[in-house]
Amino acid sequence: MDAPDPSPLDFDLRLRLAADRVLRAVTLRRQAKVAVLASAALSIVAAVQPGLLPPDLIVLKDLLNVGAISSLLQDVAAGDKLTDEQIAARMAATLPLNRLDELAIGQRDLLRALTSQDTWRQQMLRLQKEDIETGARLLAAFAPLPGDLAAIQASLAQTATREQLDDLTRLIKEHVLPLQTQRVPPVPLQLPPAATHFTGRAPELAALLAALQPGRIVTLYGPGGIGKTALSAEALRALLAEQNPPPTPPEGRGAGLPLPPGEGWGEGVRLPLPLGEGWGEGVRLPLPLGEGWGEGLPPRFPGGVLFHTFYGRPAAAEAAADFARAYGLDPNPDPFAALGAALRGRVALLILDGAEEADDLHQLLARRDRCGVLITSRKRADVVDVGIEVERLPLDKALELLWVMAHPAGPFLGPDPLAAPEPLPAPDPLPNPLPEGEGAGPWEGEAAREICELVGNLPLALRLAGAYLFQHDEKPAEYRAWLRASTLAALDFGQRRDKSVPVLMAKSVAQLSDAGRAALGVAGCLALTPFDVAPMAAALAVDERAARRALGELVNYELLRRPAERYETTHALVYAYARDRLPVEPPALRRLGAYYNSLARTESAKGLPGYQRLDPERGHILALLPRLAAAGEWATANRLVWAVHSWLGIQGYPRDRIGALEVGLAAAQALNDQYDQAAHLGHLGNAYADLGQVARAIGQYDEALEIYREIGDRHNEGVWLGNLGLAYADLGQVERAIELYEAALAVAREIGDRRGEGQRLGNLGIAYRNLGQVERAIELYEAALAVAREIGDRRGEGADLGNMGNAYADLGQVERAIEVYEAALAVAREIGDRRGEGNHLGNLGNAYLDLGQVERAIEQYEAALAVAREIGDRRGEGNRLGNLGIAYRNLGQVERAIELYEAALAVAREVGDRRGEGNHLYNRALALEKLARPDQAIESMAAALAAYESIDAPTMAAKAREELARLRGAAG
């Protein structure tokens, strides 16, 4: 008798499990490009009904060859015996790998859109299995949720029917989805650069591995070039290979103290992953995580690994901002607060390289929470908890390193023995021995030993010396003779460690070709991060093939390395030598500036894909600008600033934007270009405003305005009058803001700038509403609306309608407000303004709540919440969760309200929204009071007060202080 066909539900589950199998096969085969695209394609095929795809994703469905992937999934689901290799090969043949960059850029938005359409089905995938455990797992998952499951509990113990699944769907939508406040955040894996050959650090490595624990700060200290960064890289390699990490306390900062037997993490770490980014409920490391497809995460630090070097980038605020971005948080305006939010509750490892250059190391360390910290520094004073001195290599290991660098293809032959009480221990065997019969000849023991002594057994110096010996096929005795004649011979052993690198660098550089020397000088103009061959070719005025030859020469001398497609200097000391001692001809600087100018303009025009292409070049551009200024190449510098400042602002790099604009301002002054001076001053004001430094922004705006008036530029005079008004409004000086808006309005009308006129009318409306003059505000909104409609400014029309609705709501004319909000919502949907759509839906929810129509308000809030999640508006998501909490509290469902307040609170903390955090804590406290939990209510209200006081919100702080006193009094 034939087996019955599987039900549609069974087959759907099999198809999803097949998708997990395919993604696992691709990832375990370390096919990074395939895995990136497969994740997106499988999400379409296995997670979403094709009929639900929005039009803008249909093209991606075709481009990703979804039909062929569906066929592969059906084969796997049907039980075909395919190996991982076969599955990975079929997937690779199906995907357009030559379009990786184009598709990978849109993957996150794609997955977000897909997830938002069918979230409940993905949630069920995470809960269901094909066997008898299905019912039990579902019951366990939903047991803590409110809602009556008694009606379906008995049958769930066996097999769920479609009717039962409908009930589950309802429960998921009502109780699970509102709690899904975020996708699993990214987990960064940023590793320090590894040395070409690592040897001789077994004691230090063992001590470091024992010391590295959550909550503990470990400092490697020693002179430059001694191998601190290389040791940290080797420690990370060892941590990544760990299977049974030493257990550590789950709470507090007494990190590193062992737990009793049987406590801890066990065999490894399981991380839950959303569908499309992993498989099933969780997976054993290694995983493709962080900023690439690495080897997984060290189990001791499941929260990720973050690396920052202060060489060339000494600002601790930059490190904080980079770390916050690595977890998907906006670091502005306060990167340290954002870092604190990013690390809260995580057990990550922060690696801070070159801490002696840091301007404020304490600020970073104060935000570490339970994270471990590994510091490298040339100063013993930077030791905080545990200090490990990295000393010179033992002689046998120094000889081994020198040999390996001088004979990269051969085995290490022990040195000729010298008379000594004890012979040197035999070195560890090295890989890649020469074939039998191809001996390398005797290693000159005396000469090699003296080379090691003359350079202080410094690993970096030994690498440089060994590379030189190899390139010139020079005998150690010849190199020793040169060293004896150098200044190093007159120094003691400790001084040689400090002085040897510049001396050896000079010898290597003297042997470079003209192209190689010029290439090293150009590398010193860039940042201490990997760079591409293209800017080098542009600076040298050669094709890329010739540029690669010059860069290859530097690699041979151990001055650069090429771990992947891009090149990087081997050490901060090499970089400092190139930057400070190798001149770069002005034409080369101009060509390098022109290259980045063209690249920035071309890529910025592409929007997000272009911005992502530019991001690896950001450090190089910022390093080049002061070099151009120092060389007096003002015109090139000014053009480059114009090319990059908007991109830096849009992408949320206000500090970098300020640095660039300051160079631009100096250039404009040197060129006596008043227009550019005023423009750069105004843009500096915008950047300071983005950082919340409003008073400083006003100073920049005032200077810009003065110049524009001097040169008679009426249009920009009106623009910056308006910006001054916005700044004063931010300071709460509304009357002064109105004066400036009216002056800007007069200018706009005088020169016929209708768009500017509409904007200023809207600004005035907001100002008068803030003063409580709501009828006057409505008049101004109506005038602004008339201008927007006249010139076809649909976005402005929607904004003016939304503002007008707020004003009618203030007057208690809620039905009229709803009419206006509906009109604004229609405009937003017509023009595709998703953020505006979410705002108007939220306002509609507020209006219905004011009318007492709480269920209708909840519908609007849920729709607004869905929009916020779809577009990644985390702040808006938190606001809508808070609105929902208020609505459920009004329905008397106080427990549900508290759940939503806590979800909103988690989002506010993640994005660094201290005002939102205070609001949600305040509302949570009132809800806890209703449940007769006075101690928790007092704690929540006290936290709300602290949040308000931290941002100088006196009105809300006063309310919280009053409520806190009342709660304490009631509690006795």
pLDDT in tens, 894-945: 999 999 999 999 888 877 778 889 999 999 999 999 999 999 999 999 999 9
**948 or 596, which is more confident:** 596
| Domain endpoint, select from 460, 491, 506 | 506
* Confidence at residue 130, expressed as pLDDT on a 0 to 100 scale: 38
Residue-by-residue DSSP string for 64-128: TTHHHHHHHHHHHHTT----HHHHHHHHHHHS-GGGHHHHHHTHHHHHHHHHHHSHHHHHHHHH-
- How confident is the model at residue 589, as a pLDDT? 97
User: What is the model's pLDDT at position 638?
Assistant: 97
Output helix, strand, coil percentages for the chain, rounded to the nearest 5: 65, 5, 30
Q: At what angle do helices 514-525 and 586-604 cross, to 10 degrees?
A: 50
Among residues 454, 488, 506, the one where a domain terminates is 506
456/552 same-domain check = no
More confident residue, 112 or 270: 112
Residue 823 covered by a domain:
no
Residue 25 has a pLDDT of: 67
Are 224 and 339 part of one and the same domain? Answer: yes
Across 320-334, 458-472, 518-532, 557-571, least confident range? 320-334
Lowest mean pLDDT among 499-508, 529-538, 750-759: 499-508
Residues facing 572 on adjacent strands? none
The closest of 160, 227, 216 to 192, measured between CA atoms, is: 227
Distance between the two ends of the chain, CA-based, in angstroms? 77
pLDDT tier at 9, thresholds 50, 70, 90: very low
Continuous segment of H or E residues that includes residue 375: strand 372-377
Find out whether 858 and 178 touch, Cβ atoms under 8 Å: no
Angle at 836 between CA 109 and CA 118, to 5 degrees: 40
Query: Which tens digits make up the pLDDT trace of 431-470?
Result: 333 233 333 334 567 889 999 988 888 899 999 999 898 8
CA 408/CA 874 separation, integer angstroms: 52
- Span 20-39, pLDDT tens digits: 667 666 655 545 445 555 65
Q: pLDDT band for position 122 (50/70/90)? A: very low
Helix (H, G, I), strand (E, B) or coil at 161: coil
| One domain, residues 49 and 159 | no
At residue 748, the pLDDT reads: 94
What percentage of the chain carries pLDDT values higher than 70? 73
Higher pLDDT, 211 or 41: 211
Mean pLDDT of 275-284: 29
> How far is residue 520's CA from residue 576's CA, in Å, rounded to a whole number?
11
| CA gap 807, 799 in Å, rounded | 13
Radius of gyration of the chain (CA): 32
Tokens encoding 211: 């010391």
Mean pLDDT of 601-622: 90
pLDDT for position 532? 95
- pLDDT above 70 (res 955): yes
Domain count, the chain: 6
* Position 146, amino acid: P
Q: Note whether 95 and 146 are same-domain residues.
A: no
CA-wise closest residue to 336 among 359, 367, 360, 361: 367
- pLDDT band at residue 568 using 50, 70 and 90 as cut-offs: very high
Give the tens place of pLDDT for each residue, 160-194: 455 555 555 555 555 444 444 444 456 888 989 88
Q: What does the pLDDT average to over 960-964?
A: 92
Q: Report pLDDT digits (tens) over 337-390.
A: 889 888 888 899 999 999 999 999 999 999 998 999 999 999 999 999 999 999
pLDDT digits (tens, 9 = 90+) for 40-87: 555 555 444 444 444 444 444 555 566 677 777 777 777 767 777 787
Q: In this structure, what CATH number is given to the domain that contains residue 553?
A: 1.10.10.10
How far is Cα 493 from Cα 472, in angstroms, rounded to an integer? 27
- Parallel, antiparallel or unpaired: strands 217-221 and 270-271: unpaired
Q: Give yes or no: residues 232 and 373 share one domain.
A: yes
Closest CA to 197 of 410, 11, 501: 410
Provide DSSP, 220-256.
EE--TTSSHHHHHHHHHHHHHT-SSPPP--SSSS-TT
In-domain check, residue 832:
no
Summarize pLDDT for 629-660 with one digit per residue, the tens. 999 999 999 999 999 999 998 788 889 999 99
Q: Is there a domain that residue 717 lies in?
A: no
Q: What is the enclosing helix (H) or strand (E) of 372?
A: strand 372-377
User: Is residue 929 domain-shared with residue 955, that is, in the same domain?
Assistant: yes
Q: How many CA within 13 A on the CB side of residue 198?
A: 18
- Verify that 468 and 339 share a domain, yes or no: no
Residue reference for tokens 């303009």: 601
On whether residue 94 sits in a domain, the answer given is yes
Residue 433 counted as domain residue = no
In a domain, 46, yes or no: yes
In a shared domain, residues 209 and 144: no
> In this predicted structure, what is the pLDDT of residue 27?
57
For residue 919, count CB atoms less than 10 angstroms from its CB and return exposed for 0-12, middle for 13-18, buried for 19 or more.
Answer: buried
Based on the fold, state whether residues 211 and 330 are members of the same structural domain. yes
Nearest partner of 388 among 194, 205, 242, 229, judged by Cα: 205
Looking at residue 257, its pLDDT comes to 30
Claim to verify: residue 476 and residue 498 sit in the same structural domain: yes
Q: What residues make up the domain containing 166?
A: 132-179
Q: What is the mean pLDDT of the chain?
A: 78
At 910 the pLDDT is: 75
Burial pattern 680-703, b for ≥16 Cβ within 10 A else e, equals bbbbbbbbbbbbebbebbbebbeb
Could you give the dihedral angle defined by the CA atoms of residues 711, 716, 719 and 723, in that order, rounded to the nearest 10 degrees? -50
Give bridge partners of residue 567 from the DSSP assignment: 531
Quick one: how many helices (H) and strands (E) in the chain?
45, 9
The residue that leads in pLDDT, 271 or 808, is 808
Give residue 286's pLDDT. 28
d(CA 759, CA 878): 29
In which element (H, E) is residue 388 found? strand 386-389
d(CA 226, CA 498): 10
* Co-location of 77 and 174 in the same domain: no
Of 532, 550, 583, the residue that ends a domain is 583
Question: Where are the extended beta strands (E) located within 216-371?
Answer: 217-221, 270-271, 283-284, 305-309, 349-353
pLDDT digits (tens, 9 = 90+) for 817-863: 999 999 999 999 998 888 899 999 999 999 999 999 999 999 999 99
- CATH code for position 461: 1.10.8
In a domain, 159, yes or no: yes
Give the whole-angstrom CA distance, residue 835 versus residue 649. 19
Domain assignment of residue 463, yes or no: yes
Residue 571 and residue 559: Cα distance in Å, rounded? 8
Q: Are residues 208 and 161 in the same domain?
A: no
pLDDT at site 732: 82
Least confident among 170-184, 218-232, 550-564: 170-184
The DSSP annotation for 678-722 comes to HHHHHHHHHHHHHTT-HHHHHHHHHHHHHHHHHHT-HHHHHHHHH
pLDDT per residue as tens digits for the range 385-441? 999 999 889 988 898 899 888 877 544 444 433 333 343 344 344 333 323 333 333
